[in-house]
Structure 1
Amino acid sequence: MNYKSILIDQLNACYNDKSWFIPLHEILIDLNETQAAWENESKQSIWSIVNHLIYWNEKWLERYNDEQFELKSSINNDDTFYLNPHAINEYEWKKTQQRLETVFNSWNRALEESEDLKLITELPKYFNAPWWGVVSNLCIHNAYHIGQIMLLKKQLLSLNQKND
């Protein structure tokens, strides 16, 4: 077992491999755009959290693929949860789900194609953390938000049952 296979396993557990918890793909598959955009009392929605996950997974993948990456980001983290209220429709929700699937598949491909040496390379721009640690922490970040998404879905389903 090496870093590469462990990280691929972690990414797949988050997105599409049912193991310790329900993977994100399975949680989202039966939600429509209205359900995905529903906000709880804390003003969180599944769709906004998915947008946040897409942003950070794309950002770190871009950095992983570019040796000369810049760590600075011009976006405030709260802005990564943005959901355009005028774009809540089936087409945009499907597009968001496709983008999510694409970034997880791209991470898998990037890891499969990378040299083992890359994963132990330290990032002076990021606390001298090795790439394997950064990707592992990204998976933990994904799992944290997947838990939030699952709770939001349970809240939504509970409300729907009460209203039926």
Structure 2
Amino acid sequence: MQGLTAEQARWTDGKGNHSVGQLTYHLVFWNKRALERFKGKTPDKFSGNNDETFNNFTAEQWADIVKQFDQNMTEWEKAVEAADDATIAKNASLIAHVGTHNAYHIGQIVFVRKEQGVWDPAKGVK
């Protein structure tokens, strides 16, 4: 996400695939909900329409969405580090799902950026 303009974050290939902004918006939505559950809270009501977790992104939100993603990942790291073994064991499936879900969509983000021609191979993926 680093270095992308809002316009670049909005770019799609025109084939129905999501933009980097939509993918990031989706991750922010689900990562926040999962962290609330990890902390023993009840997430806000959700309609169940997963399309909303992608399609409510606008370019005007980009800087804030990136900030939210970074903050949420930092909060996740701190929460897991602070958790006792029983909490980790109880939430092992949730933690695994969050990691897998993020890896999947971040892979898509790299792919979209490569397609768009705005990926720096020095970032580790050539």
Q: TM-score if structure 1 supplies the norm length? A: 0.65
Aligned to 1:10: none
- SS of residue matched to 2:47: coil
Residue 72 and residue 153 in structure 1: after superposition, are their counterparts in 2 closer, same or farther (change >3 A)? same
Task: Give the secondary-structure state (helix, strand or coil) at the position aligned to 2:18.
Answer: coil
Q: What is the distance in 2 between the residues matched to 1:53 and 1:76?
A: 15
How much does 1:73 deviate? 3.4
Match of 2:124 in 1: none
* In 1, Cα distance between equivalents of 2:56 and 2:47: 18
Taking structure 1 as reference, are residues 135 and 46 closer, same or farther at Cα in structure 2, changes over 3 Å only?
A: same
> Unpaired runs of 5+ in structure 2?
119-126
1:53 aligns with 2:53: no
Counterpart of 2:74 in 1: which secondary structure? helix
The Cα offsets for residues 8-35 of structure 1, whole Å up to 9 and x where unpaired, read as xxxxxxxxxxxxxxxxxxxx11211111
TM-score, structure 2 length as denominator? 0.83
Q: Match of 2:70? A: 101
Equivalent position of 2:81 in the other structure: 112
Report if aligned partners of 2:9, 2:59 keep a CA contact under 8 Å in 1.
no
Task: Return 5+ residue gaps in structure 1 as ranges.
Answer: 1-27, 122-130, 159-164
Indicate the residue corresponding to 2:59 in structure 1: 88
Runs ≥4 residues deviating over 2 A: 69-75
Structure 2 matches for 1:5-44, cutoff 5 A?
Answer: 28-40=1-13, 41-44=15-18
* Bigger Rg, structure 1 or 2: 1
Aligned residues: 117
Q: What do you get for the CA RMSD once the two structures are aligned?
A: 2.0
Distance in 1 separating the partners of 2:67 and 2:92? 26
Distance 1:118 1:93, change over 3 A: same
* 1:75 Cα deviation after fit: 3.6
